[in-house]
């Protein structure tokens, strides 16, 4: 191994250590309460050294959020089977939202930062960096439209509203599990499956939804939090 390669690997290792320490501290203490100095102390580096890798604490969060969204969108990265490509449209939709629950269960620190902590920076500041996350959302909308075309969901259903309802249901169980608000002995996996199946059944029934689509995803607008709202 050459000197340059060793240096690159060394830099990657330090960058990884910074991100891992920051993720743990952000989740344990809240993003707002963690300083660059505190991250530096955790890995026994100077604050100046941290700035050599990330210009600011916000940039550290953006790097973690990008990792989190990529883990969410790439099940193979965390040992899960890929979404079934030849399954019926409604089963593909169910798989997408079950994946969101799995992500909350298997990557709780990333999930907490991306979907729970309200003090994190707005990712709209990094519009281009998170283009792939907007594409993920659009793919879900298209899959819901495919369900409507196939007759699995009512023709009058707004796919954006349907996605919102499914997301909120799954996130609700995920947050209850994360915050340890479930009843003793309650199985979060079974509860998440029930909520997902009930929501899909409600959508299929033709129930008139009171909520309406509010336009573009918050990822496309200013003043957004780091969520797939």
Task: Tell whether 193 and 212 lie within a shared domain.
Answer: yes
Task: Tell whether 80 and 31 lie within a shared domain.
Answer: no
Task: Tell whether 45 and 78 lie within a shared domain.
Answer: no
* Range(s) of the domain holding residue 26: 3-55
Non-local (6+) Cβ contacts of 161 within 8 A are: 209, 211, 212, 213
CATH number of the domain that residue 36 is part of:
1.10.10.60
pLDDT of residue 85: 62
Instruction: Confirm whether 185 is domain-assigned.
Output: yes
Alpha helices by DSSP H, listed for 77-211, are 89-106, 108-115, 131-149, 159-178, 188-204
pLDDT, tens digit only, all 229 positions of the chain: 688 788 788 899 999 999 999 999 999 999 999 999 999 999 999 999 999 999 999 999 999 999 999 999 875 444 444 555 678 999 999 999 999 999 999 999 999 999 999 999 988 778 888 999 999 999 999 999 999 999 999 999 999 999 999 999 999 999 999 999 999 999 999 999 999 999 999 999 999 899 887 654 444 443 334 444 4
Task: Tell whether 115 and 169 lie within a shared domain.
Answer: yes
CATH number of the domain that residue 210 is part of:
1.10.357
Please state the separation of Cα 145 from the chain's center in Å: 22
Element (H, E) at 7: helix 3-29
Instruction: Confirm whether 18 is domain-assigned.
Output: yes
Instruction: Confirm whether 61 is domain-assigned.
Output: no
Tokens matching residue 227: 């969520």
Task: Tell whether 71 and 51 lie within a shared domain.
Answer: no
Rounded to the nearest 10°, the torsion over CA 121, 122, 124, 126 is: 10
Instruction: Confirm whether 227 is domain-assigned.
Output: no
Q: What is the pTM of this model?
A: 0.85
Count CB neighbours of 197 within 10 A: 12
Task: Tell whether 49 and 153 lie within a shared domain.
Answer: no
pLDDT of residue 227: 43
CA 33/CA 9 separation, integer angstroms: 31
pLDDT of residue 226: 43
Task: Tell whether 50 and 84 lie within a shared domain.
Answer: no
Non-local (6+) Cβ contacts of 134 within 8 A are: 217, 219, 220
Number of domains in the chain: 2
Q: Are 71 and 99 in contact (CB under 8 A)?
A: no
């Amino acid at each position: 191994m050459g000197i340059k390669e060793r240096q690159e690997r060394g830099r990657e290792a330090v960058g990884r250590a910074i991100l891992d320490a920051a993720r743990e501290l952000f989740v344990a203490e809240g993003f707002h309460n963690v300083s660059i100095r505190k991250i530096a102390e955790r890995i026994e580096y100077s604050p100046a050294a941290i700035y050599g890798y990330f210009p600011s604490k916000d940039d550290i969060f953006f790097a973690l959020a990008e990792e989190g969204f990529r883990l969410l969108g790439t099940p193979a990265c965390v040992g899960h089977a890929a979404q079934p490509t030849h399954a019926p449209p409604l089963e593909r939709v169910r798989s997408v939202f079950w994946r969101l629950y799995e992500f909350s269960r298997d990557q709780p620190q990333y999930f907490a930062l991306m979907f729970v902590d309200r003090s994190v920076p707005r990712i709209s500041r990094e519009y281009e960096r998170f283009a792939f996350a907007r594409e993920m959302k659009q793919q879900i909308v298209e899959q819901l439209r495919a369900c409507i075309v196939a007759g699995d969901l009512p023709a009058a259903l707004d796919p954006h509203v349907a996605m919102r309802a499914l997301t909120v249901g799954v996130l609700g169980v995920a947050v209850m599990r994360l915050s340890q608000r479930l009843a003793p002995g309650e199985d979060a996996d079974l509860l998440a499956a029930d909520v997902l199946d009930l929501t899909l059944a409600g959508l299929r029934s033709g129930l008139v939804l009171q909520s309406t689509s509010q336009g573009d995803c918050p990822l496309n607008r200013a003043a957004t939090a780091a969520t797939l709202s």
